[in-house]
Chains A and B, each alone.
Chain A
Amino acid sequence: EPEVTQTPSHQVTQMGQEVILRCVPISNHLYFYWYRQILGQKVEFLVSFYNNEISEKSEIFDDQFSVERPDGSNFTLKIRSTKLEDSAMYFCASTRESYNEQFFGPGTRLTVL
């Protein structure tokens, strides 16, 4: 069964460094998402992406964040200058049709020191 994959599973970085989190969505899906879950808190929407552009972004998704689909398979989340409060589990999701169920990856745990 096809699934969403994410790499790395755990990323440790120093405050102020740039990180890129990678996702490979399910191959025939067209809509892509990033969510995050700070430890002990709820899963929050960050951004949605369709047709090579951002469809919607939350207030969390400020100028330090960017997303890209650099080729036909990868979907990346970049944090330009990480802060301590960016430490969280980041989930990628995809779906074939908007408003449908979304399929989530296993997550990348980001730790900012």
Chain B
Amino acid sequence: GNSVTQMEGPVTLSEEAFLTINCTYTATGYPSLFWYVQYPGEGLQLLLKATKADDKGSNKGFEATYRKETTSFHLEKGSVQVSDSAVYFCATNRDDKIIFGKGTRLHILP
């Protein structure tokens, strides 16, 4: 079945650094891909999504491109802020449920 694997954390960066969080997927068919974010003490929020190959999802300066040739959906941001500190989950769908990766905790230092 469909699944995702994302890089282990925690990831610690300085403010304004470039961020990449790797995510690869395995799937039958053509799943959608998501990045969800969980800020401290809050629930899961959809950060961005892509529904087909070569689609780029973007939101709040974050981007991820659905790459079928490398089965990847890496999350990137050019210049991170302290407020980006959170746990980031790569996810896909299988039937109508969401399948999550283990999550990557991101710490941004001022």
Count A-B pairs with CB separation below 8 Å: 52
Interface of B (DSSP majority class):
strand
Q: Are B97 and A33 in contact (CB under 8 A)?
A: yes
Q: Does A52 contact B (CB under 8 A)?
A: no
Interface size on A, residues (CB 8 A): 24
Closest A residue by C-beta to B44: A104
Interface of A (DSSP majority class):
strand
A31 to B49, CA, bound (A): 19
Q: Does A75 contact B (CB under 8 A)?
A: no
User: If the complex has contacts A103-B46, A104-B44, are A41 and B102 also in contact, measured as CB distance less than 8 A?
Assistant: yes
Q: Does A107 contact B (CB under 8 A)?
A: yes
Besides A44-B100, A91-B43, 20 new A-B residue pairs in contact (Cβ under 8 A), listed by A number = A6-B43, A31-B96, A33-B97, A33-B98, A41-B102, A42-B100, A42-B101, A42-B103, A43-B98, A43-B103, A45-B97, A45-B99, A56-B96, A98-B96, A99-B96, A103-B46, A104-B45, A105-B43, A106-B42, A106-B43
> Which residues of A line the B interface, CB within 8 A?
4, 6, 31, 33, 35, 41-45, 48, 55-56, 91, 93, 98-99, 101-107
